[in-house]
Amino acid sequence: MTTWENETICPVCKSTEVCTAYGPMDSPVLIVGDCPDPKSNMDITYNIPFINKSSGYRSGTATGTILFQLLKSLNWDYNHFRRMYLWGHKPNGDEKCYNHWKSQVIKEAIGKKIVLMIGTDAVKEFTGKSVMDVCGVKTQSEFISAPILPCISLSAVFLSAGEVKLVMEKFSKELEKIYE
Ligand SMILES: [Zn+2]
């Protein structure tokens, strides 16, 4: 495995405002979100996807905090899992950038046992299905061998708290199988 996890530049557009994969590379679990938080630069500033305040950083993103807390309530520490976004920088509409970042997800997914995929775009890209149709349903991807557990965007969690909680409970059951 290369050290691309330290990538601090997009090789296509040369942007240095990136947020690339983070967390133990040998984790059997990968969490993939759509893109860096549009309302905060914290994840890009620290280059940590789903950054959360309780990890010792000054601040976290809303989605990072929600993810951390939901998993913690099920007795999982998300710091044990590899995490990344489909877009390694803010979406810029450049298909070449997109294809680069997509290829990074495919690389990262190699050898993983489960991929928790959060968000409309990532789920659509990797399962070919609408997240509304497959939310919480383990789904195969033509791009990666690990099964994907799709989840709606955590930014909508207050609208669909029950639905997200259900996905996290299913995720927890998958983790129990992996870590038993
Ligand atoms: Zn780029």
Q: H-type helices in the chain, by residue range? A: 42-46, 62-73, 95-109, 120-127, 131-134, 161-179
Residue 159: predicted pLDDT: 67
For residue 147, report the distance from its CA to the centre of ligand 1, in Å.
28
Domain boundaries, the chain: 4-179
Mean pLDDT of 26-36: 97
**Residue 70, phi then psi, degrees to nearest 5:** -60, -45
pLDDT for residue 95 is more than 90:
yes
For residue 123, report the distance from its CA to the centre of ligand 1, in Å.
21
Mean pLDDT of 130-150: 96
pLDDT-derived band of residue 55, with 50, 70 and 90 as boundaries? Answer: low
For residue 86, report the distance from its CA to the centre of ligand 1, in Å.
12
Residue 158: predicted pLDDT: 67
Of 29-33, 57-61, 71-75, 103-107, least confident by mean pLDDT is 57-61
pLDDT for residue 4 is more than 80:
no
Smallest CA-to-CA distance from 121 within 146, 165, 89, 153 is with 153
Question: What angle is formed at CA 171 by the lines to CA 53 and CA 72, rounded to 5 degrees?
Answer: 30
pLDDT-derived band of residue 165, with 50, 70 and 90 as boundaries? Answer: very high
The CATH number given to 4-179 is 3.40.470.10
Mean pLDDT of 66-71: 92
pLDDT-derived band of residue 7, with 50, 70 and 90 as boundaries? Answer: confident
Residue 57: predicted pLDDT: 74
**Residue 86, number of CB atoms within 10 A of its CB:** 22
Those residues whose beta carbon sits under 5 angstroms from the ion ligand 1 are 10, 12-13, 97
Is the CB of residue 112 less than 8 Å from the CB of residue 131?
no
Question: For tokens 């990136």, what's the residue?
Answer: 18
pLDDT for residue 90 is more than 90:
yes
Mean pLDDT of 124-151: 96
Token pair for residue 142?
A: 């033509």
